[in-house]
């Protein structure tokens, strides 16, 4: 993890060799996160975490403002990229303008895993946007834990907080999001 921070700092200083070195380091780390996420979610084995990681990396690498200040900033950006990919995929799938009842599946999105059904993912995205307006740091924890699949220890390190604090924030965020998404009922989509 310290090595990633060192390479990110070198990229900031304009080291072109560091940019080439960053991809394999980050790729493997993000792929591990995606594999862990899929294992926890019990998603179909035909779905490939590699697709989600590749798309997130393309967005991160293609971003002109790649001035990641540190490891925490990078992984926050990665979590946000994964969240946006999943939400965009859900929106496209729910859009009826492209063929009525027929479902159109693009080849590049066929294997992208989604942790929730599309309607629930869109509701979570809406609720998370509201929550971020109230408490951006706790919303960032949700993105890191839920969309990037980081453990409490990893998310706490990225956010620069203690693990018990991360667990308290997580409990609060889950409760807030559950109330927002379901009207305080115990059923419906849940953030795990």
Q: Looking up tokens 């859900």, which residue turns up?
A: 90
Q: Which two tokens stand for residue 56?
A: 């997130």
Say if 53 falls within a structural domain: yes
Q: How many domains does the chain have?
A: 1
Measure the CA–CA gap between 119 and 137, rounded to whole angstroms.
Answer: 25
Is residue 177 one of the residues assigned to a domain? Answer: yes
Q: Is the pTM of the predicted complex or chain greater than 0.85?
A: no
Say how far apart CA 144 and CA 75 lie, in whole Å. 8
**Does residue 189 lie in a domain region?**
no
Pick the range with the lowest mean pLDDT from 23-27, 43-47, 59-63, 144-148. 43-47
Q: Which residue has the higher pLDDT, 104 or 136?
A: 136
Q: Where are the alpha helices (DSSP H) in 42-162?
A: 49-62, 71-94, 118-134, 136-142, 152-159
Instruction: Report the alpha-carbon distance of residue 38 to residue 44 in Å, rounded.
Output: 8
Query: What is the rounded distance in angstroms from the CA atom of residue 139 to the CA atom of residue 134?
Result: 9
Sorted by sequence, the CB contacts under 8 Å of residue 4 that are 6+ apart come out as 22, 25, 26, 29, 71, 74
Q: At residue 91, does pLDDT exceed 80?
A: no
- Contact between 159 and 141 (Cβ < 8 Å): yes
Is there a contact between 94 and 119 (Cβ–Cβ < 8 Å)?
yes
Least confident of 2-11, 126-135, 169-178: 2-11
Q: Is residue 192 part of a domain?
A: no
Distance in angstroms (rounded) separating the CA atoms of residues 140 and 146:
10
**Domain presence at residue 191:** no
Domain with 137, as residue range(s), is 2-182
Residue 71 lies inside a defined structural domain of this protein = yes
Please report, rounded to a whole number, the percentage of residues in the chain having pLDDT higher than 90: 20
Dist. CA 139–CA 128, nearest whole Å: 7
Residue 16's pLDDT band (boundaries 50, 70, 90)? confident
Which tokens sit at 141? Answer: 């924890």
Residue 158 lies in a domain: yes
Question: If residue 169 lies in a helix (H) or strand (E), which one and from where to where?
Answer: helix 163-182
Digit-coded pLDDT (tens) for 182-191 = 875 544 445 5
For residue 19, is it within any domain?
Answer: yes
């Amino acid at each position: 993890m310290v090595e990633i921070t060192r390479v990110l700092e070198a990229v900031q200083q304009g080291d072109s060799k560091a940019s080439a070195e960053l991809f394999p380091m980050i790729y493997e780390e993000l792929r591990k996160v995606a594999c862990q996420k899929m294992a926890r979610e019990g998603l179909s084995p035909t779905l490939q975490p590699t697709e989600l990681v590749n798309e997130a990396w393309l967005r991160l690498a293609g971003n002109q403002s790649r001035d990641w200040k540190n490891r925490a900033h990078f992984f926050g950006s990665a979590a946000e990229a994964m969240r946006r990919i999943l939400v965009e995929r859900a929106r496209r799938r729910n859009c009826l303008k492209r063929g009525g009842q027929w479902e159109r599946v693009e080849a590049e999105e066929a294997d992208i895993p989604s942790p929730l059904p599309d309607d629930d993912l869109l509701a979570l995205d809406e609720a998370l946007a509201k929550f971020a307006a109230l408490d951006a740091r706790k919303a960032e924890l949700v993105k890191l834990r839920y969309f990037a699949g980081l453990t409490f220890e990893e998310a706490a390190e990225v956010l620069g907080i203690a693990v018990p604090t991360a667990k308290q924030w997580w409990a609060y965020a889950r409760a807030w999001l559950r109330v927002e998404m379901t009207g305080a009922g115990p059923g419906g989509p849940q953030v795990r």
